[in-house]
A and B are shown apart, each in its own frame.
Chain A
Amino acid sequence: MISLNQVEKVYRTRTVETLALNNINLSVEQGEFLSIMGPSGCGKSTLLNIIGLLDEPTRGKVEIAGALVRNYSGRELAQLRNEKIGFVFQSFHLINDLPVVDNVELPLLYRKVSARERRRLAEEALQSVGLSNRIRHFPTQLSGGQKQRVAIARAIVGRPSILLADEPTGNLDSVMGNEVMDILLRLNKEYRTTVVMVTHDESMARRTNRLVRLFDGSQVG
């Protein structure tokens, strides 16, 4: 499903050159739940960006769902992100001016889906995260855990094969964090969605299939 081969990422600014990822070799099978751990600044987000087609590696080969990423145009990458990948972020990134259900519909706006079908899929996604009774609420009226569940509903509404979560429980207390984790585990089981999750929490990582540790841009186990 995901295959990284000798991936290297260098950030160059005028004054410094940062080696954010160094010789990463990683392969994730379909249906796998992988967690990534490591200290702040070790390259976890960079790695997710590359897998999520939001950034390109400086060197190395990236294959997502059997397709070699380097051969795609910006438009095709946008379409791949839209169809194959769902994102969940630590800071939720909900649009506060839109009700929950419209936030969830967002990925479907970038493909050809009728308004009624969008609404149906969004309600279904919200149901699967247990927020059917909050669809008309605005994000500001929700708790952190609820916000993250909306973000997960948004990530899965387009039925992606890969779910990328960057510290999804980082802003939540342990109760809400566990709820979110339960949902991710359930989605992984039910739909065989491949999940790659960055986390700081050992207990969360233990509940996944596999753990990759990064240190200073390199895999250490």
Chain B
Amino acid sequence: MIKHLIQLIWNKKRSNFLLTTEIFASFIVLFGVMSLVFYNYGNYVQPLGYDYEDVWAVYFTGQDTPDSVFSEALERAKQQVVSYPEIDGAALCTSNTPYSQTTMRWNITYEGKSVLSEMILADENLASVLNMPLEEGRWMDRAEVESGQPVVVLNRQAKEALFGDEPALGKMASLSDDGKFWKVVGVLGNFKAKGEFQELEPVVFINHQSYDIPMDVILLNTNEGADAVFEAALLKGLNRLARGANIELSYLTSQRRNQHAITKAPMIIAATVCGFLLLNVGLGLLGVLWFNIRKRRGEIGLRRALGATRGGILVHFVSEAVLIAAFAILVGLFFAGQFPLLGVFGLDASIYLSAALASVGILVVLVAACAFVPSREAAQVQPAMVLHEE
């Protein structure tokens, strides 16, 4: 019976061509969208590695202020803000804070092996302000920061890329060409600097007093008392200390919203396009099937006369549609298979596999559903009526 159906479809290839191309095209687009969705979902389910709720970021900017004055202002501002009861902790950080648009990539090198990492300069309080649990060792301490000890904390991805299964604690890694080495004192879990949808990447945190880049952010861990009135008072106090620098305050939660919007926008656009394509396929399929079935009433009556049951007719027409789709999907799978094989976009093969499976599933269900309604109509054709028609 399958062979019979394939023969019928093949001999009607000219009239099935449009439908086949349409299904093929929507498979490819669906596959793209699904890859994007699975990629983002795969990243999303990885733990973030820090807390962002109730964290405020205060950005200091000022071109004319000399670095030393600027640093001193920040340091004093930090002392000041921790005295407020609304603030549970404050930490200095470079401007590549969580959810920010800023990045600072640097090579960290150990025994000739270099790993490009996000480099964040920090003080002794950053781990507690962002509530980052350490998997090994410890965070940099006050004494180390004050005396400018070259110490570094790695996230798990940086540790694995640099040391593999070897222990990392106590190892000396370099971050510059001047022969200076930083001692690994701790290893964090994940740290997805740009938020939930970011791929897991190596991140290193180094003592800001051991590196010649000025700090420009204070991250504040606030509590329930921190309302709008407090925010205004805080800004006023900070401006007094700022020594000419500009101050800007934003919540990590709102930066997170923006960051998510940026990730979701292309997904939503692609999904909308894909939705329209699928709608088109569905309607096209309905139209083609209605038309075909109307044209093939005689054939349907004949098949019934020759021994096909109503159910048999239904199955026949749904199968024809699904087989046409299967052919289009097979061609699509061939093209989709090139993505992991050629390593385009560098996504994991498992993402492509899930995306392909999901796309096949969605299309087959869509085609079967759209074929079902006209096919049921076909099953209702009365052989006694159509066989004697001229």
Contact = CB atoms under 8 A, between A and B. Distances in A.
A102 B298 CA distance: 17
Nearest to A170: B390
Interface string A79-104: 10111000101110101011000100
B273 interface: no
A82 B388 contact: no
B308 interface: yes
Interface in B289-328: 298-299, 301-312
B1 interface: yes
B1 A93 contact: no
A49 B299 CA distance: 16
A109 B304 CA distance: 12
Interface residues of A, number: 30
A87 B384 CA distance: 12
B240 interface: no
B300 to A, nearest CB: 10
B387 A87 contact: yes
A50 to B, nearest CB: 9
Contact of A90 (B7, B303, B304, B388): B388
Main secondary structure of the interface of B (DSSP, over half): helix
Contact of B12 (A75, A97, A166): A97
Contact of B306 (A75, A102, A110, A166): A110
Contact of B4 (A79, A82, A90, A109): A109
B306 A107 contact: yes
A16 to B, nearest CB: 16
Contacts of A95: 8, 299, 302
A93 B302 contact: yes
Given A93-B387, A95-B299, A106 B306 contact: yes
Contacts of A49: 383-384, 387-388
Contact of B305 (A75, A79, A87): A87
A106 B304 CA distance: 11
A68 interface: no
B15 to A, nearest CB: 9
Interface of A: 45-46, 49, 52, 54-55, 74-75, 78-79, 81-83, 87, 89-91, 93, 95, 97-98, 102, 106-107, 109-111, 115, 154, 166
Given A54-B304, A166-B388, 10 more contacts: A54-B305, A54-B387, A78-B304, A81-B307, A83-B307, A90-B388, A93-B299, A102-B4, A106-B306, A107-B306
23 contacts: A46-B384, A49-B384, A54-B383, A74-B309, A74-B310, A78-B304, A78-B312, A79-B307, A81-B304, A81-B307, A87-B302, A87-B306, A89-B387, A91-B389, A93-B302, A95-B8, A95-B299, A97-B8, A98-B7, A102-B4, A106-B303, A109-B4, A110-B312
Interface of B: 1, 3-4, 7-8, 11-12, 298-299, 301-312, 382-384, 387-390
9 closest Cβ pairs, A-B complex: A82-B307, A110-B307, A55-B384, A97-B11, A49-B384, A45-B388, A54-B384, A107-B306, A78-B309
